[in-house]
Amino acid sequence: MSRTVAIIGGGPKTFIPDLTAYDKDGVLWIGADQGAEVLLERELIPDFSIGDFDSVSKASLEKIKEKSAAYEVYPNEKDETDLELAIRKALKWEPQHILLFGVTGGRMDHSLANIQLLYPLMQKNVQAKIIDVQNQVELVSSGVHTIEADEHYPYLSFLPITLEVKKLTLTGFYYPLTEAYLPYGSTLCISNRLIQEAGTFSFESGILLVIRSKDLPNRG
């Protein structure tokens, strides 16, 4: 049983960070559509490639079939997105963690739908995280949580995705809070940061979207 599955989606390649830092022992790699091509371009062998592959050339698809440990090709017209198919495959390996790359940037409908896919994973007690060059995104349910500082993603934002989040307390942050009420649409907890190696956040009810982020250099 693998503890971590990393899935690469078919989002813009420029949004995908360096993957070598995540290529650790026991990690299984799944390429969803063009994500399989990205893995090969970055000299990582897909443990599984899946999708309709309408975003890759015929030559690239043949290479994906040749290099992948296993693959499944689906028709273009289907009820699930390629990413959803990849997640379904990942769950068969019973992971504790799923990392999602190449699922943000480009079309807003795709990005928002992919963020929503975090919810059924949270319900299955799988710790899932979306990672791109500028952000790390995860859903967190009520309770007490410890969070460590990360110099690569220094900013922390907490967004309610339920109608309300009750009694949010932030400890160890530049902007602390004590039992704050966050209704849906609140921007109270945008762009905070830790002031020590680790902090805690807790809340009584609701679900938070926790976003770590950083500013990118102005390429002007």
> Can you give the CATH number for the domain in which 167 is found?
3.40.50.10240
Task: Report in angstroms the alpha-carbon separations of 105 from 12, 109, 121, 133, 218.
Answer: 6, 10, 21, 10, 18
The answer to whether residues 74 and 166 belong to one domain is no
32 — pLDDT class (breaks 50, 70, 90): very high
Alpha-carbon distance of 98 to 101, in angstroms, equals: 10
Do 51 and 119 fall within a single domain?
A: yes
- Tell me how far apart the alpha carbons of residues 129 and 100 are, in angstroms, rounded to a whole number: 6
Same domain, 118 and 158: no
pLDDT of 219 above 70:
no
- What SS3 state is found at 155? strand
Domain count along the chain: 2
Do 84 and 18 share a structural domain? Answer: yes
Q: Mean pLDDT, the chain, as a whole number?
A: 94
As a whole number, mean pLDDT of residues 77-93 equals: 93
In this structure, the answer to whether residues 37 and 100 fall within a common structural domain is: yes
Q: Residue 20 domain-assigned? A: yes
Residue 148 structure tokens:
């460590």
Residue 220 belongs to a domain = no
Domain with 144 in it: 138-213
Q: Note the pLDDT tens digit of each residue in 153-178.
A: 999 999 999 999 999 999 999 999 99
pLDDT at 117: 95
Q: Does residue 75 sit in the same domain as residue 182?
A: no
